[in-house]
Structure 1
Amino acid sequence: SAIMKEMNSSTVTEFILLGIPFLHDFHRVFFVAGLFMYITTIMGNGFILVIVAIEPRLQTPMYLFLSNLAFLEICYTTTVVPKLLQTLIERQTTICFVCCMVQGFFHFILGTTEIFILTAMAFDRYLAICKPLQYPMIMTRHVCIQMTLATWYSSFSIMFFQSLFVWRLPFCGSNVVDHFYCDIGPVLSLACADIQLIESLGLLSSVMLVITTLTLTVVSYIFIITTILRIPSAAGRKKAFSTCTSHLTVVSILYGAIIFMYVRPNVHALSHTSRVVAILNTVLTPMLNPFIYTIRNLEVKEAVRSMIYKKRLLKRGF
């Protein structure tokens, strides 16, 4: 009877996504902009995957981590952006209960994996700059693959057990999600149960995750900067630091957004600002990442030139 009672209380079979109501007058403009940014994200990150796969000189640990990050960004935006675009062209966008839970689950798994990969990239830069002689022996291809798999496995383990708590909650009242995707805060606020424990666990895991990974990244960069400042030539210092600036930029943007959105007690209290930050985090940042990592990167530019040159030779029949 207890099971039947629980089944009767969980009457919500689908959710209504409100989208971005305070920008309703500009929905068509934002749809066009959002679609363009989504296509650019897929193409930009797809370009990184292709260039790293076909160019032997880019098959180093740094670029293997970067191609993993590019693949992750494609998956991350695809989890959220298509539904966001739908909320911009339809008056009322619905998402089935299971689809909503799956979307939230993958959104957090991919987001957590990104944090771990960026931390692994900071460690890779630390080894490359501070331990250049030991670097080839420590950061082998095998170690790089193991670290990458560990980032995915860790994020899956962390998010799977947290998601189980949310999946088991009864939803019997309102089914209107005040967001453009199934983020944890707006979904939790609809539950017909006490969510204090889940909120506390979520806040604790967010704080621990952010503090641990951010500390590891900051410590890595303290050692990196100290080592760079000891390099006698200005050209040497510039070259060493140029390999880190892209990574630092991406880390700053990502942690800024995460801390603003999730490291706070009441994650379901959404403001206009937090929704704008969510748009930047899910649409703009994944689009900018390929440009941040490639525009000033000499190795990527040389790899592109080499690829174009080889293509021209093939056309001429050599």
Structure 2
Amino acid sequence: MQVDNTSSTDFTFMGLFNRKDISVLLLVIISIIFFTALMASGVMIFLIRTDSCLHTPMYFLLSHLSFIDMMYISTIVPKMLVDYLLGQSTISFLGCTAQHFLYLTLVGAEFFLLGLMVYDRYVAICNPLCYPVLMSRRVCWMVIAGSWFRGSLDGFLLTPITMSFPFCNSWEITHFFCEAPAVLKLACADTALYETVMYVCCVLMLLIPFSVVIASCAQILTTVHHMSSGEGRKKAFATCSSHMIVVTLFYGAAMYTYMLPHSYHRPDQDKVFSVFYTILTPMLNPLIYSLRNKDVTGALKTALGRIKGTQRASGDAF
């Protein structure tokens, strides 16, 4: 028996936690990660907008990455937390469709933005004389627009197809959000052709940007190796290594989910890998880029100094 997608039937999440004895602890950890991600990304955006030393193409792109991270984690974690606190685990068909669309759009935008951000570092290190031209404000906006366009294209293309399949009696999603592979397992129709199309899209979204990142970083490291300045070599290596850490975590987990054959997948493992690029990465991105960056830490110290100065002035006034 099949259920029509337009019925009032809701999907039921099986959830991230199977063990109730540790679910509260994990819930607290995820809550901390969520609020840390929002705070770190928010601080990063604030510093980049207010500190003139950070008004460069690299930080302009980084501010948009932080914005995507904030939206990205907010499409998944708040629903998890509210469901746990209310003792429910359902989501309507329209809610699942909206979550699936937002997730695909945001993750697609981040895939491409991370891949294109390394172009900025490549030009800055390997071709610094042409940097003002190759990374002009217009080029930066083209990078941002291109990332959003490609992300939204995936969302508009794949979401209607995913949610148009007839689903069987059991609308139980063995996952903690409406991710395409988990939803497709409920389909009562043959999804082989669609999964092939999705695989091709994932190759374009993952392998091509990842290959560009690897090739660019290899060229950067080659250039850095021939630098005469030890300080310049150290700064360039730190920037490149930060980007590689972010890219490896984000792309690696996504490649496992979308490009590995089904025979290698297990529900528990799928959920763990999904946690990496849906919950952990949005928290780690601003922390990695800020803690390993002297410009950002310097801007933070300046901002804190201004706040303390304002507080002292207010206290003296009274």
TM over 0.5: yes
Letter in 2 for 1:193: A
Letter in 2 for 1:138: L
* Structure 2 residue 271 is matched with structure 1 residue 275: yes
Structure 1 position 49, deviation (Å): 0.8
How far apart, in 2, do the equivalents of 1:78 and 1:143 lie? 29
2:33 corresponding residue in structure 1:
37
Letter in 1 for 2:160: L
1:3 corresponding residue in structure 2:
none
2:119 corresponding residue in structure 1:
123
How many residue pairs get aligned? The number is 313
The answer to whether the 8 Å contact 1:17/1:87 transfers is no
The answer to whether the 8 Å contact 2:4/2:167 transfers is no
1:178 corresponding residue in structure 2:
174
TM-score, scaled to structure 2: 0.91
The correspondence for 2:24, drawn from 3, 28, 36, is: 28
Change (3 A) 1:191 1:183: same
The correspondence for 2:201, drawn from 202, 205, 228, is: 205
* Structure 2 residue 110 is matched with structure 1 residue 114: yes
How far apart, in 2, do the equivalents of 1:214 and 1:9 lie? 36
The answer to whether the 8 Å contact 1:28/1:88 transfers is no
1:155 corresponding residue in structure 2:
151
Structure 1 position 45, deviation (Å): 0.6
How far apart, in 1, do the equivalents of 2:194 and 2:8 lie? 20
Change (3 A) 1:25 1:7: closer
1:255-282, Cα deviation, whole Å (9 max, x unpaired): 1101111112439954322211212222
2:73 corresponding residue in structure 1:
77
The answer to whether the 8 Å contact 1:31/1:89 transfers is no
* Structure 2 residue 155 is matched with structure 1 residue 135: no
The answer to whether the 8 Å contact 1:62/1:124 transfers is yes
1:276-313, Cα deviation, whole Å (9 max, x unpaired): 12122222221122211111211112212222334455
How far apart, in 1, do the equivalents of 2:226 and 2:5 lie? 66
1:230 corresponding residue in structure 2:
226
Letter in 2 for 1:160: F
1:301 corresponding residue in structure 2:
297
The correspondence for 2:216, drawn from 217, 220, 223, is: 220
How far apart, in 2, do the equivalents of 1:7 and 1:273 lie? 29
Q: Which moved more, 1:44-53 or 1:163-172?
A: 163-172
2:89 corresponding residue in structure 1:
93
Structure 1 position 145, deviation (Å): 1.4
How far apart, in 1, do the equivalents of 2:278 and 2:80 lie? 10
* Structure 2 residue 287 is matched with structure 1 residue 291: yes
Structure 1 position 91, deviation (Å): 4.8
Matches within 5 A, 1:186-201: 186-201=182-197
Unaligned runs of 5+ in 2: none
Structure 1 position 84, deviation (Å): 2.2
Letter in 2 for 1:293: Y
Structure 1 position 130, deviation (Å): 0.4
Structure 1 position 142, deviation (Å): 2.0
Change (3 A) 1:72 1:49: same
Change (3 A) 1:58 1:277: same
Change (3 A) 1:206 1:12: farther
Q: Secondary structure of the equivalent of 2:190? A: coil
Identity %: 34
